[in-house]
Amino acid sequence: MSEIKILTSDTYADAIAGGAVVVDFYADWCGPCKMMAPTFEETAGEYEGKVAFAKINIDENRDVALSNQVMSIPTMILFKDGEAKDRVTGVIDKDTLKSRVDALL
């Protein structure tokens, strides 16, 4: 399985700066976030070496969530070289996530 980086307010900007990165905005108490986690982890493993996958807890890093206008969770934002290219809110299936990630490449 691919390593999923856990981001903080301090590491966020550097993590999204280069290449293709998928960031999952979540909270520990969020039921839909827990439902999405296995799909996110499986997909990350399939893109190892091509796309970075990361998670950021919105409760602990509220400034990053606000700056990205994350109003509902889970929200996944797909970045290419620091620029948000796509956004998905809510629980989605693996095929949908993969098609969005493929569009980044």
Active site residue 71: no
- The catalytic position among 7, 15, 33, 97 is 33
Q: Is 69 left (phi over 0), alpha (psi -120 to 50) or beta?
A: left
- Whether 33 is catalytic is yes
| Selected catalytic residue, list 22, 30, 44, 64 | 30
Chain centre to alpha carbon of residue 30: 15
The CA angle 95-96-100, to the nearest 5 degrees, is 115
**Angle in degrees, CA 99, 100, 105, rounded to 5:** 90
Q: Which active-site residues does the annotation give?
A: 30, 33
